[in-house]
Amino acid sequence: MQVRKALYALALFLTPAVAFAHPGHDSYGLLAGVAHPLTGLDHLLAMLAVGLWAAQQQGAARWALPATFVASMLLGGVLGFAGLQIPFMETGIAASVLALGLLVTVAARLPLSLALGMTTLFALSHGLAHGLELPELASPWSYAAGFVAATAILHASGYALVRSLPRAAAPLVRLAGAASAGAGVWLLAG
């Protein structure tokens, strides 16, 4: 039942994109922004892992981790729009896939300040990458709205998946984290 509600929410959330199908709107920027996190394995895995990890937490961490990621990623995107580049950005993104996968694998419950600090650093890297890949002629704000929406949906999907599973399925969630960590190692090696 929870999965069905999550899918309905996803469909409802994406419905406004249909309104941008006629001339006069920057549907390309919005759709490109939505596509970026969904089509890059590194972004997809990291953002799902944030949702998985948040669902393994208690208290404020459950909402603070995804909210911090989205806000920090948006800040990184704005910095990327301005042309800021950092060395080893792609390495940082791959490392975030590895680290977030490991955090899910061990169901880590870190002090909130440490968890939020790590989440902020990971999200800034992802946001910079999004911002630097702004398509030509696209509105930065439509593009940002797209990647923020897609990221929130990925976080919510990971969260909903964990929360809808019975407690006995916790090893499967940890296995998904291990698979993500393995993909992070592969991304770092490549």
pLDDT of residue 17: 47
Angle between helices 41-55 and 89-105 (to 10 degrees): 30
CB 154 within 8 A of CB 47: yes
Greatest alpha-carbon pair distance for the chain in Å reads 51
Q: For position 109, what pLDDT does the model report? A: 97
> Are the CB atoms for 47 and 99 separated by under 8 Å?
no
User: What's the rounded Cα separation, in Å, for the pair 103 and 118?
Assistant: 11
Q: Judge if pTM exceeds 0.75.
A: yes
pLDDT, tens digit only, all 190 positions of the chain: 666 665 555 555 555 444 444 344 456 789 999 998 999 999 999 999 999 999 999 999 999 999 999 999 999 999 999 999 999 999 999 999 999 999 999 999 999 999 999 999 999 999 999 999 988 888 999 999 999 999 999 999 999 999 999 989 999 999 999 999 999 999 999 8
Let me know if 2 is exposed, middle or buried by CB neighbors in 10 A (0-12, 13-18, 19+): exposed
pLDDT of residue 113: 97
